[in-house]
Amino acid sequence: MTHRITLIPGDGIGPELAEATRRVLDASGPTFHWDVVDAGEAVMAEYGTPLPEHVLESIRRNRVALKGPITTPVGEGFRSVNVTLRQVLNLYANVRPARSMKGLDARYQNVDLVIVRENTEDLYAGIEHMVGRDAAESIKIITREASERIARYAFDYAVANGRHTVTAVHKANIMKLSDGLFLESCRTVAAEYEGRVEFQDRIVDNMCMQLVQKPEQYDMLVAPNLYGDIISDLAAGLVGGLGVAPGANIGLEAAVFEAVHGSAPKYAGQNKANPTALILSGVLMLRHLHEQEAADRVETALREVIADGRDVTYDLGGSAGTSEMADAIIRRLGAPAHA
Ligand code: NAD
């Protein structure tokens, strides 16, 4: 069976990471047909938008996409392509695992967290306006429907993956209505899973401190959009940095797999950036495609290369380039069982 995948190389370091990831996945066993489409800064001049309609059509058709990071202008210019994609395709669940790996110079060696971030609303709804010249308002949208849906996704994920505790992250002591509704929705859903998955909640500031002090005590976190975004970068920092943090955006009709990190423009085109985060996003994609054996093989080969430490990029203390690290992973993959 051939998997048809939309591949969006992205901006900055995106294209070189996408190429490295594509080569590793092609060597992992399953057959892929890559539908390569561009989005972001590079297509603005040609299409007048960073997210042309044919890119969305390709994802809708293939239902699965692997995406490099896309630059978002700060404070002006076009709206984030990343946020727009999630909203237009209703990719409501952003799943970001943070897991320790041997060989990484990280503060902790025993972290195994999965962060489930609501991906469609909260302050990312993009409803902002000026109030006169000297004040600005951003509107935070929290709905029962989206909150229950993300909580259910987290609990279902826990059941399917043998996880034991879901912690809801919020600031309901201050935002009693919006975060209060999020927490209430999580509690409602948690009741359906009683006896199977434990539930607890933490106020977001306390959560940050707890994660820095004792991350090994947490299993799965579920959070509204903004807290989920911040906490997942924090969790990435606990296990070795943005270079190793993968992500998945999951909806009912499509799924888009991408690293947590951005386009790191200062490293673009230098064959320096770490491909681990996008390759691990590819592993999440393989699991989504039910290619468990290939996913295990890529993950094992990647972990071996990192533990060995000779063929890793600068951020992991090595001197290998992006493509040399991918070569080392491919060498360790060996032949697929059914080849
Ligand atoms: P960034 O993640 O691009 O880079 C921050 C720093 O992290 C880099 O300078 C680099 O030191 C390190 N880093 C990141 N990825 C790395 C990798 N693969 N290997 C080695 N080191 C790596 O964050 P930023 O500088 O805040 O954002 C740059 C652009 O990316 C912005 O336009 C931002 O909007 C965009 N962005 C896009 C996405 C996305 O596409 N989903 C996510 C975050 C940021």
The pLDDT of residue 77 is 67
Taking residues 252-268, report their average pLDDT: 95
Q: Is 119 in the pocket of ligand 1 (CB under 6 A)?
A: no
Q: Return the bridge partners of 222, or none.
A: 116, 168
Taking residues 194-206, report their average pLDDT: 98
Taking residues 149-173, report their average pLDDT: 97
The pLDDT of residue 105 is 84
The pLDDT of residue 80 is 84
Residues 40-79: pLDDT tens digits?
988 988 998 899 999 999 999 999 999 999 988 766 666 7
DSSP labels, 121-147: -BGGG--EEESSSS-EEE--B--HHHH
The pLDDT of residue 195 is 97
User: What is the Å distance from ligand 1's center to 258 Cα?
Assistant: 12
Clarify whether 171 is annotated catalytic: yes
- From the CA atom positions of the chain, what is the Rg in Å? 20
Buried residues in 37-53 as b, exposed as e (16+ CB within 10 A): bbbbbbbeeeeeebbbe
Choose the catalytic residue: 26, 105, 176, 205: 205
Clarify whether 229 is annotated catalytic: yes
Q: Is 327 in the pocket of ligand 1 (CB under 6 A)?
A: no
* This prediction's pTM: 0.92
Taking residues 184-190, report their average pLDDT: 98
Q: Quick check: 227 and 194 in contact, CB under 8 A? A: no
Q: In this structure, are strands 136-138 and 198-203 parallel, antiparallel, or unpaired?
A: unpaired
Q: Is 274 in the pocket of ligand 1 (CB under 6 A)?
A: yes
- The DSSP secondary-structure symbol of 194 reads T
The pLDDT of residue 337 is 55
pLDDT over 70, % of the chain: 97
- Asked if pLDDT for residue 205 goes beyond 60, the answer is yes
Residues 321-335: pLDDT tens digits?
999 999 999 999 976
Q: Is 6 in the pocket of ligand 1 (CB under 6 A)?
A: no
The pLDDT of residue 334 is 76
Within 13 Å and on the Cβ side, how many CA atoms surround 76? 0
Clarify whether 179 is annotated catalytic: no
User: What is the Å distance from ligand 1's center to 81 Cα?
Assistant: 14
The pLDDT of residue 73 is 72
The pLDDT of residue 169 is 98
Q: Is 69 in the pocket of ligand 1 (CB under 6 A)?
A: yes
Kindly state the tokens that stand for 76. 């002006």
Taking residues 311-320, report their average pLDDT: 95
The pLDDT of residue 42 is 82
What is the C-alpha to C-alpha distance for residues 271 and 239, in angstroms, rounded to an integer? 23
Q: What is the mean pLDDT of the chain?
A: 94
Residues 73-112: pLDDT tens digits?
766 666 788 888 988 999 999 999 999 999 988 889 999 9
User: What is the Å distance from ligand 1's center to 262 Cα?
Assistant: 3
177 pLDDT tier (thresholds 50, 70, 90): very high
């590079």: which residue's tokens?
A: 42
The pLDDT of residue 41 is 84
Clarify whether 205 is annotated catalytic: yes
């999965």: which residue's tokens?
A: 114
- Asked if pLDDT for residue 171 goes beyond 90, the answer is yes
What is the C-alpha to C-alpha distance for residues 210 and 189, in angstroms, rounded to an integer? 24
Residue 57's H or E segment, with its range, is helix 53-62
User: 16-20, 105-109, 179-183, 310-314 — which is least confidently predicted?
Assistant: 105-109
The pLDDT of residue 251 is 97
Could you identify the atom of ligand 1 that is nearest to the CA of residue 260? 42
